[in-house]
Amino acid sequence: MADATESDAASSNERDSESHSTVRNVVLVVLDTARAKSSGPKTSPTLNRLANEGTSFTNAFATAPWTLPSHASMFTGTYSSEHGTHGDHTYLDEELRTLAESFADSGYETIGVSNNTWITEEFGFDRGFDELRKGWQYIQSDADMGAVVRGEDLREKLDATRNRLFDGNPVVNAANILYSELLQPAGDDGSDRSTTWVANWLAERDADDPFFLFCNFIEPHVEYDPPQEYAERFLPEGASYEEAAAIRQDPRAFDCEDYELTDRDFALLRGLYRAELAYVDDQLGELRTALEESGEWEDTLFVVCGDHGEHIGEHGFFGHQYNLYDTLINVPLVCHGGPFTDGGERD
């Protein structure tokens, strides 16, 4: 028995050594606003396939209930109490070493694709990236019109436009505002265009260097506006897409009791949210396909996680921030490739 145990241990160590040696590249995909409880096989078959082939962590918790501090923790390996990036201090301090900087210093090509306007150079998240693309821009520009996208009503958007339009090239800025506010394809908040760009980049790159790729897909974030064909798969029986789309989606106003939502409203909103997860899961599959077709998949550590979850009526809340219930901070976390191959499910 002892000989068998030693033999098994040796075989395990050999497999671990082999799996480590095959990993050259690292891909980190953040599914913005994806909560663990809604990321099951029906909504997220691609993610669940990755989990079945790799390792999934059922007790993964975000360090913060919203985008900025959560990404700051992921990028620096520090808790919110240490990095201090929050609503009143929105810039990632320069003395904090980022994940992208570490990869760059190790000889990696570093590429980022962000569809969340908080994750940009405006807030210090570009450090270490050779390129950090912004999915809401039709023409990539250093002048960031993200404040227009973040505007919660027409007045805020107009104020941001007046303040930012002449920061750099006003024609390019105007084109980017028109694209993000009026011309971006319905039902998609940038993930389709992002995966297409990544696929082209992978097909065309001739560098021998390994790469670190970061992607943020924001579709599950309010407002939930999935393509109709996805919505109809997840809405309650007898509900129409038009009925669901007509529901007011203003989490802060709801949490402040400025308006009410019924149980029926929340059931419809949960259907839209699940449809968004299903849509972005398909984009995750496209990203995997691009890595496979470029010949990089077998050499890649592929990590998928949420930055925070979402309340959709649970505990009397809508949206995120303000509290630390599991619906808000328990997120999916799946690692595929290298030592995580066939790792099963872990707490």
The pLDDT of residue 4: 43
189 has a pLDDT exceeding 60: yes
User: How does pLDDT run across 25-76, given as a tens digit for each residue?
Assistant: 999 999 999 999 999 999 999 999 999 999 999 999 999 999 999 999 999 9
**pTM summary value:** 0.88
Within 13 Å of residue 324, how many CA atoms lie on the same side as its CB?
5
Paired with 312 in beta bridges are: 318
Residue with the two structure tokens 């599991």: 326
The pLDDT of residue 7: 44
Whether 212 and 109 have beta carbons less than 8 Å apart is answered as yes
Distances in Å between the Cα of 269 and the Cα atoms of 228, 246, 283, 326 are: 13, 10, 21, 19
Cα(13)–Cα(27) distance, integer angstroms: 25
Lowest mean pLDDT among 205-214, 226-235, 261-270, 271-280: 205-214
Q: Which domains, from first to last, does the chain contain?
A: 24-136+187-346 (3.40.720.10), 138-183 (no CATH)
User: How does pLDDT run across 132-160, given as a tens digit for each residue?
Assistant: 998 877 667 776 766 666 666 667 666 66
Whether 100 and 88 have beta carbons less than 8 Å apart is answered as no
